[in-house]
Chain A
Amino acid sequence: MNRAPLIFLGAFLVLAFSWAGLVLTNQVGYGSLAPHFDDTENKAYPAQMAGPAAQGAAVYQDLGCAYCHTQQVRGGAQGADLTRLPKWGERDSYARDYLRDTRVQLGDLRVGPDLRNVGARDTDSTALYLHLYDPAHANPAWTMPSYNFLFEQRPITGEPSPLALKVPVAAGFEVLPTPRAVALVAYLLSLKDTYDYPDESQMNTPPAPPKTAAPAKGGPPVGATSVKSPASAATDAAKPAAAKP
């Protein structure tokens, strides 16, 4: 251990080894995973994000929502996400679910609920606007801060806007979401992984009867290598899109 070049070379090789082993192998393994085309529905899943939702993803990123909210559903042995009420998802998250996300924000801390399927829950834009404007509105226990800077207070001119929030406001004024709030809510409502991919669902144990716990699984499936497996064609027709809650 007396030569600086030896240290440099060793340091390079050690890190290169882990980069090749962890990063490169995964990139080769499933970095080019393709969306699944469902012949019966004539649609590809995951579906492309619509324009406003894509803008909303940028707002989600810019406000750092991912520091408190994860976007990864864990059921079975990994967590209780599938059994809590309201459910955080119908199934575990798969790697394929994230193909449409330009920036994958899995998150690593759950201060608030998981949002991967917030669009599939019993919610709508009005409720989400209200929640962003005043999170304590529905439940004072929430420690989420107010995002009232995504809204503006304007004097009512003519008819009140249909988008106006039902919150206390000075007479003659209304509270309206700014374009950023509209985009963010469009993004949140677009978050729903309700389609179950035939390849991945095969890797899970058979779905449990409705009353028991969620289907368990051995490990998070990836299905990278099985994208073009003959089994996938066979199961395509048999597997309808999962029902929404």
Chain B
Amino acid sequence: MSDAHSQTSPGEAGPIHTSLKVPLLVLLAFALLHLLAASALGLIAAIQLHTPGFFAGCEYVTFGRVYPAAINELAYGWGVNAGLAVALWLTARLARGTVPQGGLLVVAIVFWNLGVKLGVLGILAGDSTTFAWLEMPRYVGPFLLIAYTLIAAWVVAVQCRGVARWLYASQWYVLASLFWFPWLWSAAQLMLVFAPVRGTVQAVVAAWFAHNFLSLWFASLGLALVYYFLPKVLGRPIRGYYLSSMAFWLFAIFTTWAGAARLAGAPVPAWTQTAGRAANFMLLVPLAIFAVNFFGTLRAGGLRALRHSIVLRFMAVAAVVFTLWMLRGVVGALPGLTELTGLTWFNTAGDYAVVYGMFSMAAFGAVYYLAPRLLRRAWPSAILIKAHFWFATTGLVLGVVALSCGGIFVQGIGLANAKVPMAEINTGMVFWLHLATFAGILLTLGHLAFFVNFFKLVLCPRHRSAAAAAPVPAVLLRPSPELQAPAR
């Protein structure tokens, strides 16, 4: 019941896991290294916001460079690597397909990571494009696209080789995300970097890309994980599963328009901004279905399960943050509030929430589940897992709340009042930015715990002997025939 591989008979998952092992571990190892780099760069940027003397005078780590470098390490280094890892895992497990030619896949993964590293170094050297979430320099754009396409094609190949023809909800999101990212990336690169459009149409393209990257890559893969793990861990089907295909299409249709709300108040046509606001409101419909699907399942499964399963806890946090993020979009689109939230940390905090609170938390949970199964040994330390969860959750809540509160109550209200001088807003923000730095330290500690545990699991063979007998600490699971049921 609580055993590392109680879920599957070796006969079924054995060849799948064997073929997954190397590419998946390489993806995850790169993802983790990038996550640590992102933490370090992000901490430098966070400290500089309230202590401008920190690394002042060093051009390569001036705020305007180190901040986008941190964001891109997080998005492309951690986010895309971890996203591809979970996409590969979910596809292989749900379609029951093996990975062909894993060695070649590893080459593609190495190329992707070389591209990301080169891009981040390019940003630190001053080659950023300055478009939010798309700062990667011009010279790595096509390179990254090719490497990504190779990896994504492999996941699709696994799907094609699979024996299970039924597509579960997680697979819709995975397949669509795999396809959306290169679509978005090439359209945005073409219209902003290689053949740039004129004037503020650039801002429209940039907002379209940024929001869709967050929702169609990060949120979508996070949803895939939540749809997979809630029934898996709780051992019961998704509540109201028949509604989930409607939620998928409605989410996709409306969220692709919602990015225009980022332009509220900007010198772009008013109808564009209105369309963005309207789309944010329409997202309430799929949100209602998601709420029934996720919280209905969690409630039916008994909240006590949260105490037993760390995987479930990560997924529950992801589901809650996702809900709040969608509601935040509605609140931010309300006329009257847009003026208060526009151009403040409130909006930035929302972006962090979906990347970190939704996608990353779900991905952490997934790694805690899949790594022991791949390696057939238990996590070396249960304490480190718990530490990671609590550091990540506390840091997430503290950081997002600090930036949102400071963003509205100090920055938003200050900017809306002409009598408040900019210097006063700066002074008022210092407290909240200190809190955000503290949150960043907590997140970094969590990442360190995760990093140590993961590499001990992969590299220390002494845990191997105890594998068969040792329970997976804190990853307690019940068999879940329900998840597999629709596959038949």
Identify the interface centre among A66, A102, A136: most chain B CB within 10 Å of its CB: A66
Contact B267 A18 (CB under 8 A): no
B418 lies within 8 A of A72 (CB): no
Residues of the B chain whose Cβ atoms lie less than 8 Å from the Cβ of A109: 343-345, 347-348
Which of B184, B265, B345, B411 has the most chain A CB atoms inside 10 A of its CB? B265
Are B179 and A8 in contact, with the CB atoms below 8 A? yes
Q: Give a binary string over B339-381; 1 marks a CB under 8 Å from any A CB, 0 the rest.
A: 1001111011000000000000000000000000000000000
Choose the segment among A21-29, A47-55, A162-170, A230-238 that binds chain B (4+ C-beta atoms closer than 8 Å): A21-29
Interface centre among B50, B130, B132, B275, by most A CB within 10 Å?
A: B130
A199 proximal to B (CB < 8 A) = no
Tell me, rounded to whole Å, the shortest Cβ–Cβ distance linking A20 to chain B. 11
- Rounded to whole Å, the gap between the CB of B43 and the closest CB of chain A is 16
- Contact at B422–A14, with CB atoms within 8 Å? no
Known: A1-B172, A33-B198, A145-B52. A15 touches B184 (CB 8 A): yes
- Do B266 and A220 touch (CB < 8 A)? yes
Q: Is A160 an interface residue (CB 8 A)?
A: no
Chain A CB within 10 A, most for which of B166, B187, B272, B275: B272
The CA-CA distance from A211 to B56 in the complex, in Å, is: 42
Contact B260 A22 (CB under 8 A): yes
Contacts of A145 in B (CB 8 A): 48, 52-53, 56, 62-63
Q: Name the one of A2, A63, A99, A221 contacting B64, with C-beta atoms under 8 angstroms.
A: A63
B49 in contact with A111 (CB, 8 Å): yes
B159 CB-CB contact with A under 8 Å: yes
Indicate if the CB atoms of A220 and B52 lie closer than 8 Å. no
Q: Does A62 contact B (CB under 8 A)?
A: yes
Contact in complex: B166, A7 (CB < 8 Å): no
Q: Which residue of A lies closest to B244 (CB)?
A: A1
Q: How far is the CA of A104 from the CA of B193 in the complex (A)?
A: 11
Q: Flag whether B423 is at the interface (Cβ < 8 A).
A: yes
Contacts of A143 in B (CB 8 A): 49-50, 52, 426, 429-430
Report which residue of B160, B201, B411 has the largest number of chain A beta carbons within 10 angstroms of its beta carbon: B201
Q: B127 contacts which chain A residues (CB < 8 A)?
A: 62
- Per-position binary interface string of chain A over residues 191-235, scored 1 when its CB falls under 8 Å from any chain B CB and 0 otherwise: 000000000000000000000000000111110100000000000
Given A2-B166, A80-B417, A149-B59: A222 in contact with B268 (beta carbons within 8 A):
yes
- By a CB distance below 8 angstroms, the chain A residues around B266 are 72, 106, 220
* Chain B, 139-158, CB within 8 A of any chain A CB: 156
Question: Which chain B positions have C-beta within 8 A of A68?
Answer: 63-64
Interface residues as binary, B254-275 with A (CB distance below 8 Å gives 1, 0 otherwise):
0011011010011111101101
Interface centre among A78, A97, A135 (most CB of B within 10 A): A78
**Contact residues in A for B426 (Cβ distance below 8 Å):** 111-112, 141-143
With A141-B424, A143-B426 known as contacts, the answer to whether A22 contacts B272 (CB < 8 A) is yes
- A65 is an interface residue with CB less than 8 A from chain B: yes
From residue B265, how far is it (CB to closest CB) to chain A in Å? 4
| Main SS class of interface, B | helix
Q: How far is the CA of A222 from the CA of B199 in the complex (A)?
A: 11
* A146 contacts the other chain (CB 8 A): yes
Contact yes or no, A67 B270, CB < 8 A: no
Within 8 Å CB of A103, what residues of B?
Answer: 129-130, 196, 202
A105 B130 Cβ-Cβ under 8 A: yes
Residues on B with C-beta less than 8 A from A80 are 415-418
Contacts of A95 in B (CB 8 A): 199-200, 267-269
A1 to B199, Cβ gap below 8 A? no
Distance between B56 CB and nearest chain A CB, rounded to angstroms:
5
Shortest Cβ gap from B415 to chain A (Å): 6
Question: Hey, which chain A residues are within 8 Å of B208, CB to CB?
Answer: 18-19, 22-23
B167: interface (CB < 8 Å): yes
Does A14 contact B196, Cβ atoms closer than 8 Å?
no
Q: A62-B128, A109-B343 are in contact. Are A220 and B268 (CB under 8 A)?
A: yes
Kindly report which residue of chain B lies nearest to residue A224, judged by CB atoms.
B269
User: What chain B residues lie within 8 Å of A36 (beta carbons)?
Assistant: none
How far, in whole Å, are A23 and B175 apart by their CA atoms in the complex?
Answer: 24
Q: Per a CB cutoff under 8 Å, which of B196, B245, B265, B345 touches A1?
A: B245
Would A78 and B198 count as touching, CB distance under 8 A? Answer: no
Across-interface contacts of B343 in A (CB, < 8 A): 70, 107-110
Interface centre among A103, A104, A113 (most CB of B within 10 A): A104
Is B230 interfacial (CB-CB < 8 Å)? no
Query: A99's closest neighbor in chain B, by CB?
Result: B199
Residues facing A in B431-469 (CB within 8 A) are none
Q: Contacts of A156 on B, CB cut-off 8 Å?
A: none
The residue in chain A whose Cβ has the minimal distance to the Cβ of B276 is A22
Is B212 interfacial (CB-CB < 8 Å)? yes
Any B CB within 8 A of the CB of A42:
no
Given contacts A4-B159, A111-B49, contact A33 B199 (CB under 8 A): yes
CB-based contact B130/A72 at 8 Å: no
- Judged by a CB distance under 8 angstroms, whether B5 is at the interface is no
Given contacts A2-B165, A21-B275, A84-B421, 11 further A-B contacts (CB under 8 A): A7-B175, A33-B199, A61-B128, A64-B64, A68-B64, A79-B339, A109-B348, A136-B52, A146-B57, A149-B62, A222-B268
Query: Which 8 interchain pairs have the tightest Cβ spacing?
Result: A64-B64, A219-B270, A18-B256, A62-B126, A80-B418, A83-B418, A11-B176, A141-B423
Chain B positions within 8 Å of A, measured between CB atoms, are 48-50, 52-53, 56-59, 62-65, 67-68, 126-130, 132, 156, 159-160, 165-167, 171-172, 175-176, 179-180, 183-184, 187, 191, 196-205, 208, 212, 216, 245, 248-249, 252-253, 256-257, 259-260, 262, 265-270, 272-273, 275, 339, 342-345, 347-348, 411, 415-419, 421-424, 426-427, 429-430
A binding-site residues for B, Cβ under 8 Å: 1-4, 7-8, 10-12, 14-15, 17-19, 21-23, 26-27, 29-33, 61-68, 70, 72, 74, 77-80, 83-85, 92-99, 101-113, 135-136, 139, 141-149, 218-222, 224
Can you list 10 contacts pairing A with B, beta carbon distance less than 8 Å? Answer: A3-B167, A4-B175, A64-B63, A78-B339, A95-B200, A109-B348, A111-B49, A143-B426, A149-B59, A222-B269
